[in-house]
Structure 1
């Protein structure tokens, strides 16, 4: 078995500048930014079609699903969401 880990594309939280009210501006389940969506599409377009993949697994976090979905479509493999990999924070302020 081969395992390939791919980090999600840039999310809205990743794009927040770290100063002052950073904690209050973070979202508990942020979507990808336009750049993150563009990079997810680029990953899907550039991934080798001969890759020996039969399934893709993803966290249920929005940013992870939005990153994995274009790749799953391009490779024509099922995308499986893993509830165990999704830990929604109860509070983002700290």
Structure 2
């Protein structure tokens, strides 16, 4: 899955280890990095491992919860092409 970010602070939280550790703690920062790696490896939400609770909200909005940590990833989904199963995700917010 292709991942983009809604803002520079969200991108820094997701991609900068020191920022995520400072804001989420070391354990939660590691779990977030693992979740992002799983999202990048998956072609679509159906391929995510069962440890994630995925809820489709209004339209293309989704909430992905890491059940063991209480971390929520709020995102907007889109498909690259009408006939494609490969999706793109824009992460809007990450919170505890």
TM-score range relative to shorter protein: under 0.3
More strand by share: 2
Structure showing greater radius of gyration is 1
Q: TM-score, normalised by structure 1?
A: 0.25
